[in-house]
A and B are shown apart, each in its own frame.
Chain A
Amino acid sequence: MNEVLQLELIVGVVVTFVLIMIFVASAKKGNFDDQKKMMDGMLFDSPDDLRAAAEQEAKQEEMIAKKKEKQNSTD
């Protein structure tokens, strides 16, 4: 019985630590700078908005790659 409790507590501590690390990393990156917008997003963002955000990210990656390519060719 005690071993089960011990295991549960260890798993609980590890999971909490992982979550805390994720939270700290995202907070330092600025994900919580605009809490109001974040809360609104959680409540009101539609599947279309999420799709648009994914497309925007793809567009950004493409633009950065193109820019780098251009810079390399000029060098």
Chain B
Amino acid sequence: MSDIKCSHCKLEFHESVLIKEEPSLYFCCKGCQGVYHLLKEDGLDAFYDKMRNDTIAPPIESENDTSNFDLESFKQRYIKTDENGFSRVDLVIEGIHCAACVWLNEKVINQTEGVLEASINFSNNKAKVVWDEDTVKLSHIIDKIRSVGYNAYPYDYSDATEKSVEAKRDYITRVGVAIFGTMNIMMIGVAKYAGYFSGMDAEVLHMIHVVEFIFSSMVLFYSGWVFFKGAYYGLKNKIVNMDLLVSGGATITYIYSLTILFGAQGQSYFDSVAMIIMFVLVGKYLEVLGKKSAMDSMDKMKNQIPLEATVVKDGVKSVLMLDQINVGDIIEVKNGEKASVDGQSIVELATFDESSLSGESLPVEKRQGDTVLSGTINIGKVMRYKASKNYANSTFNTMMNLLEDSLASKPKIEEMTNRLSKHFSLLIILLAMFSFVAWYFYSGDFEKSLIITISVIVIACPCALALATPIASLVGISWATEKGLLFKEAKFIETFAQATTVVVDKTGTITEGKLKVKKQIVKGGSEDNESLSDENLALLFALADASVHPVSKAIKKYLLETGREIEPKALENIEQVSAQGLEADFGAKKILGGNAKLMEAHNISVDQSESTIYHFAIDGVLLSTFELEDSIKEDVDTLVSYFKANDIELIMATGDNAFVANKVAKEVGIEDVRAEMSPVDKAELITKLQKEEKKVVMIGDGINDTLALSRSDIAIAMGSGADVALAMSDVVVLNNSLEGIKDSFLISRRTYKFIKQNLMISLVYNLLTIPIAIAGYVMPLVAALSMSLSSLLVVANSMRIKNINKK
């Protein structure tokens, strides 16, 4: 039997585990089967054409009642009414993967009677839904979304979101106008420069200058307004910033070009004005996009917490919104649900997956009185706990607030060119003024003095200086991209190259972050699953399939990978034994799968071990034992030895227990280990290291690392990490390899070396040419050519960065 694609989600599965329908339909689960037929019935099967080669996750099965969406408290918080009396809500749609998902959800919502408008933003999965409350309830719309396998949560369309949307629109407009203007100037420029060499009527040249003047004025004063504003606020605070240089440089060039337009001899530089503004503005726009995407990820993460919780009062269960939960309330959490507020367990034993908060890869047992943290998932039986904090003060919300603060206050690294240009531009302005005054008093010729002054400004225009960093960074970044490394901003290269300390997370970074079967021992000591009969293998698979526990998932995956044919078996009376495993019946047989405690409870003797062990027994007879581990990534040795060879301090900070942390650290050769660290502890460690004057790089991938990532000088996230970790990071290792981290160090160090070389080239050029210009030996046109030559020199030098590969 071979692997076959599910007819709905297009994921490939072994034929034996698929639900088959005649003539040739295959489904991986009931959810996919249901959605497939629903789409066919509603005439929405064009969805599968639009999916093309994409795959989607199987439908999300949500058992939560949607009636809460119609509660008055919900309406007050999330629903707005527009001027026509329609209701509007902003939702995050869970499960959207591709354009086809967006199409399907928009179709389904728009087809609902009473819906005026549904529009989904593909980049952040946010939907705006406008509907008539008199015709349809919001709960019905949510039910519709759920019926096709997705889920929806509301989100607060806050003032901050509104502002970031407006800022983005403003930048799109300004960038668009700059591109329009510059493109037109460049097209006209072709005619102008052709005429320069072949001869052109003065009247035609003047007309071209007029058109260039119109477009460059538009670009300078509309698109470039942000720089004038920035320069004004900079000067108000006595700071000579990059905005002042950009606006100042562009304005001087513009004024000089105006003199040409109104009759002076020489070349106009209206095209340069437009290009300077456009290029720098595009860079600023990318920065705004980055910030917005980080905010979107935060919204997505906030909605991982359920909207409501089941509260038990005097034996009566009621579903309350999170802000209605008080300290002391008893909260019930079902299997697979998340705890919404912090509290203390009141049941004898429960099991929680805390990986999203602490990074702890193994499930954590919670005994009576133990703390249950908001955001963690109950992976055992239904449990109850007493709320010790309200939602606002609970761990998850506190972490979100801290993250928002650090996003807003993350210090900007002052760019090296900005620091140099600050003094350099002041010096040039003074020298130009000096040249004008000296020449005017010496020759008494105003025009000549102006021409020399312009030559000084043009020849000293810090183009090469301004190019020195970005062009080298561009080459470095494109080289990094080829190697699967994404540097979000060029300036991170400088900081990265100066890094002295690396703090690395364990789960998902050093280790794979997923449990894997290391060894299987079948009864009799054989390490070969062939010894397990087909029927017993099928029963073991059915038992593992019945649980979402990471150990069960690993067993299931291992069995599928063995390639043996597995006949589906329907188990009965499946019961989850908290922190122990699963029990089930198959006919008269009693099936057990779990740890040593479960076996002992059924009088089956097993060997004790500190590793993660899963035993499988039928009717009191142990049939097979599995040893599981979170395997260490293959290329970790290369990375550790690179850090050691380059005197970079390496610290492993993990939420895991000391035993696991030390075991892994010893295996990979890391000496400094910090175990059982909460997200806040990790962030404090970063701050402490920074206070010791160290440049700290943090490498992580989970939600638990985001706070530390946001505090570090450079944050590296693995590409498979949580959305928010990716948003908070400065560098993303797309291929998840540790070799990639080593490459990022190599590339940034080499690029930084070339940035320094480029700066030296441009400074030497200016030192040589400025005195000649002041002496009056350079005409503005020659000055412009010379300036271009220095820029070319810097570009050519930067191209050498990648030459290391050829050696």
Contact = CB atoms under 8 A, between A and B. Distances in A.
Contacts of B103: 49
B121 A23 contact: no
Contact of A16 (B99, B176, B184, B210): B184
A16 to B, nearest CB: 6
B84 A67 contact: yes
A44 B110 contact: no
Contact of A27 (B121, B169, B214): B169
Interface residues of B, number: 38
Nearest to A32: B172
Interface string A38-63: 00100010101100100010001001
Contacts of A70: 134
A36 B173 contact: no
Nearest to A56: B110
A70 B158 CA distance: 31
Contact of A37 (B107, B121, B214): B121
Nearest to B165: A33
Nearest to A20: B180
Given A48-B46, A67-B86, A28 B173 contact: yes
Interface string B204-243: 1001101100110010000000000000000000000000
A60 B116 contact: yes
B117 A60 contact: yes
Contact of B180 (A5, A16, A52, A63): A16
A19 to B, nearest CB: 7
Given A48-B46, A67-B85, A27 B176 contact: yes
B203 interface: yes
A13 B85 contact: no
Interface in B188-215: 188, 201, 203-204, 207-208, 210-211, 214-215
Contacts of A44: 50, 99
A20 B184 CA distance: 12
Contacts of A6: 207
A37 B110 CA distance: 17
Contact of B84 (A13, A24, A64): A64
B203 A2 contact: yes
Contacts of A60: 116-117
Contacts of B208: 9
Nearest to A45: B103
B132 interface: yes
A40 B122 contact: yes
Contacts, number: 82
26 contacts: A2-B207, A9-B208, A12-B184, A13-B215, A16-B215, A20-B177, A23-B173, A23-B177, A24-B173, A24-B177, A27-B173, A32-B169, A33-B165, A33-B168, A34-B123, A35-B123, A36-B122, A37-B102, A37-B122, A40-B99, A40-B122, A64-B84, A67-B86, A68-B84, A70-B134, A71-B85
Contacts of B110: 56
A18 to B, nearest CB: 11
B176 A23 contact: yes
Contacts of A24: 173, 176-177
B201 A28 contact: no
A6 to B, nearest CB: 6
Contacts of A63: 116, 132
A34 to B, nearest CB: 4
B123 A28 contact: no
Contacts of A36: 122-123
Contacts of B84: 64, 67-68
Nearest to A65: B84
A9 B99 contact: no
Contacts of A27: 169, 172-173, 176
A15 to B, nearest CB: 10
Contacts of A67: 84-86, 132
Interface in B156-174: 165, 168-169, 172-173
A64 to B, nearest CB: 6
A28 B173 CA distance: 7
Interface string B137-156: 00000000000000000000
Chief secondary structure at chain B's binding surface: helix
A5 B99 contact: no
Interface in B116-142: 116-117, 120-123, 132, 134
Contacts of B120: 37
Nearest to A43: B99
A52 B188 CA distance: 42
B99 A37 contact: yes
A10 to B, nearest CB: 9
Contacts of A68: 84
Contacts of A28: 169, 173
B204 A5 contact: yes
Given A34-B122, A67-B85, A19 B180 contact: yes
Contacts of B214: 13
Contacts of B169: 27-28, 30, 32-33
A32 B165 CA distance: 11
B116 A23 contact: no
A40 B52 CA distance: 13
Contacts of A5: 204, 207
A59 to B, nearest CB: 8
B40 to A, nearest CB: 16
Return the 9 tightest CB-CB contacts between A and B, nearest first. A37-B122, A40-B99, A27-B173, A34-B121, A36-B122, A27-B172, A32-B172, A9-B211, A36-B123
A56 B110 CA distance: 8
Contacts of B173: 23-24, 27-28
Contacts of A37: 99, 102, 120-123
Contacts of A52: 107
Nearest to A49: B103
A33 B184 contact: no
Contacts of B107: 52
Nearest to A19: B180
B211 A33 contact: no
B268 to A, nearest CB: 15
Contacts of B168: 33
Contacts of B134: 70
Nearest to A6: B207
Nearest to B173: A27
A52 B211 CA distance: 43
Given A27-B169, A37-B120, A63-B132, 11 more contacts: A5-B204, A9-B188, A20-B177, A20-B180, A32-B172, A40-B99, A44-B99, A52-B107, A56-B110, A56-B117, A64-B116
A14 to B, nearest CB: 11
A20 B215 CA distance: 11
A16 B46 CA distance: 39
Contacts of B86: 67
Contacts of A33: 121, 165, 168-169
